[in-house]
Structure 1
Amino acid sequence: MSPNGRSFLLDPQKVAGPMRYSHARVVQPSTHHTIYVSGIAAVTPEGVLEGVTENPDGSFTVNVREQTAAVLRRIESIIQGASHGKANLYNIVDATVYILDMKTQYADMNEEWNKIWSDRASAPSRATIGVRELPDPRFAVEIKATAIFEL
């Protein structure tokens, strides 16, 4: 069994295609610790925004792929720290991705996501939600996650 439980698929015989996610993850909570990771954006503890280019005129450009990769790195650091090194991204059982523009940013976010979880049998369950705004206008992606690891 994967460290984030067992994958459940409604249609396990179908080819994965672009939909690389489990429909559900089944875990045994009595043998695991659970880590609930707050919504994380692409900003370091020092306040450096990743995936953002400040332009001379005061405007900015956001790179959704870079921000998604940065958010996933931060989440992995949080999970590793909270589990004392016993868990990582592959222990995530559920995630919610908040994104500003589903039409123009979803594909880039999803491509970065699929670099970590390349098949739906190991990917956590996930919801992706288009939102009007995030706490900082330079944020394009925020991810909230739940991970489990063995005691």
Structure 2
Amino acid sequence: MKISAKIKFLWNAFVIAVNTGAVMIPAIMLFPKHKGAIMHNLNRVTLFLMGAKVVQEGAMDPEADMYVMNHQGIIDIIGMEALQDRHLMWVAKKELFSMPIYGHLLRHGDMISLDRGNKAGLIKLMKDVKVSLDEKHRAIAIFPEGTRAKDQKLLP
């Protein structure tokens, strides 16, 4: 790996960690009614500081209840949040909720935890989705394959 690529990687990791850990998490804890706007705007700032540019092809359906997609890394989530005006409720595997920084973001961001290890996890997921749609009026975003797919196509 070239030295410039290493420096860019370290800079991007630093930007994501500081923006998430030092700014976003405290902001959503202090201003819980504005979580969506805080996350969207700070993710736009994160992309700007990383020198990234989000390009959207087509229009997202504002009436959609669920967004199903693949992702290759955390930048996909940051980009999706930066593009949104709606406050999405993300579905994430429960192991991510115990991570040091990002676990706080998931918990305080009011996201859905999915226990893939037991069958009751699927029932809990369905109940949480119903609450999200009916009571909180938040669309669901899910990566059913996480980073397991080799390309951007969903597996059968």
Shared fold by TM > 0.5?
no
- TM normalised by structure 2 equals 0.29
With CA pairs under 8 Å and 6+ residues apart, which has the higher RCO, 1 or 2?
A: 1
With normalisation by structure 1, the TM-score equals 0.29
